[in-house]
Amino acid sequence: MAGIGKSMLAGHIADQVIGDHPGTQVITVRGALTVEHLVQILVADRPSLVILDQFDTNLTDGTITDRGLAAVLLCLMEEIADRDDERRRTRVIVTARQPLTLGPRILVHQLGALTWWSANEFARSLPRLGKLSNADREYAWRLTAGNPGSMRAFDARLADVTFAELADSLAKGIAARIGLVATALFPPGLDEPAAAAIAATVESVLNPPAVAAGVDAAPHAAAEPAGGKWRTKLRALLRVLSAAGVVAMIACAPLVIKSLIARSTTPAVAASAAAPYSAISLLFPFPSATVLVRAPSPAQHVPPAPTPEAAAATWLAGNVTSGTVIGCDPAMCASLSHQGVPQADLSPLRTGADLTTDALIVATPRARTLMGSAIAAAAPELAASFGTGTGQVQVREVTPGGVTAYSSLMAADVASRREGGNLILGNAGIKSAGDNWVVLCSGHVDSRILLALAEMAHSTPLTIASFGAPNPGAPQSVPVRSVLIDVANPVAAAAYLQVQDPSMQPLVVRIGHASLWVEFGAPSPLGLFQASS
């Protein structure tokens, strides 16, 4: 569907091709296509990647409307796939909203909704969604049915309204249109009509302005160079393919096309090296299509990413349980305070200070200079990290006994989480959707989730729909802290989470129509499952 990422994925592939094969010409054609146009762009004498974007204009019920175009495209696909000449190697990418069947040379990949893990990574790259908590980003993922285009529009709209106001408007719109409660939606499991209805609701509520995707210059006719006579004959011959005798011509079309291509010359291209896209000057006018040529190595503007310090502060503010003492250098403490972390939870780092009184330590470059090896000695577990190299910011968890006891404690905790995951899988009251069993068996689920699932299953059957995203930059040993479950009575299930032990209190509980989202705060405690069992 629109906004799901077809054109974006094609663009990423093009970027990778240019990087791996310098000198490759990338030609993007958006909109309607003619036979002459198709041949013109596929007879290049240099390596080419041709992207036929928004190809639906040429389709009716998944079939190319112009039978002549279909025949020539099929023949050219066969011809270019069998080329041995590296100098004329060509590949074609087609993006469309409806299925397209076009011979065995076409590999079809269906794009669906983003999973929560992927959506969370994408949302964190956006300027406004990236600053929200995991729970709010998860709710935005549901409200937009996991559609990247809708999530980007959601992010842009947050410049004008609050998250709560926007989420409420979308939730009401979805309920009115399809009768589903937004908190109960699981995007990868939506059928196509429901996903399309949600996308239409998002569009009507957000009403994002149209933005040009690139240079929209109409191609123009250029003077016909030497060799134009054969092109005149080619146009006349190709028109025959669209006539009533097209079926009889298909059998000999590969020989005709190969003969014509063997005598072809490179089209005249007017490409500006100063811009990533420029209009292509074609031998024939094609007013119905937008043609863009991508220069091999343009400099493209990318919005600046947040600094590792800013990213770490945002993550800590949205993911750490209140009351967790965080050791930080003065600048990081000020940033965390600005993000809303209570002053009582901040412990300014000082040379010679006892770090074992903290729960987490933010190891910025300044903190490492100030404290030296004391941070790694007291806090050997890497809970999260941001950035790379000498500028990396690490969030480290203080472990009882420090680095000396850490290895044995972590090994025991992973083993107990694996055992607990297997017990969950063996519980008759708990089902696991998809490949969640792999996460459970690997010991990659927070002990608090395992205990909560077992407690809830005592009174009501439930299904594990998905687990949340792992901590950014954390090693595999650090478990996931959130889970989405499907349950008939989520209110009753949530009641079992209201426990007296502060270490078992969830950070976020969101109740849906028939689902429950539970997220525990960082850090994930070591040894909790053994002690509780």
Is residue 417 within 8 Å of 479, Cβ to Cβ? yes
Q: Tokens in use for 239?
A: 């028109």
C-alpha distances out from residue 47 to 136, 231, 473, Å: 46, 21, 38
C-alpha 301, offset from chain centre: 20
Residue 30 has a pLDDT of 82
Which residues does 334 contact at the CB level (< 8 Å), separation at least 6?
none
Residue 102 has a pLDDT of 65
Kindly list the strands in the beta sheet with 508-511, ordered across the sheet, starting from the edge strand earlier in the chain: 430-432, 462-467, 482-487, 515-519, 508-511
Residue 103 has a pLDDT of 64
Residue 329 has a pLDDT of 95
pTM for this entry: 0.49
Residue 242 has a pLDDT of 38
Residue 101 has a pLDDT of 64
Question: How many helices and strands in the chain, by DSSP H and E?
Answer: 20, 17
Residue 337 has a pLDDT of 92
What distance in Å separates the CA atoms of residue 182 and residue 154, rounded to the nearest whole number? 15
What distance in Å separates the CA atoms of residue 227 and residue 357, rounded to the nearest whole number? 82
Virtual CA dihedral for 387, 396, 474, 138, nearest 10 degrees?
A: -90
Is residue 358 within 8 Å of 284, Cβ to Cβ? no
Residue 500 has a pLDDT of 60
What distance in Å separates the CA atoms of residue 215 and residue 91, rounded to the nearest whole number? 23
Instruction: Give me the average pLDDT of each 10-residue run along the chain (533 residues).
Output: 78 83 82 77 74 82 77 75 72 80 69 78 89 88 87 90 90 83 73 80 71 36 39 43 36 42 36 31 36 46 70 91 93 92 94 90 95 91 91 92 85 90 91 83 91 89 88 88 91 81 83 87 80 50
Q: Tokens in use for 426?
A: 């063996």
Residue 263 has a pLDDT of 40
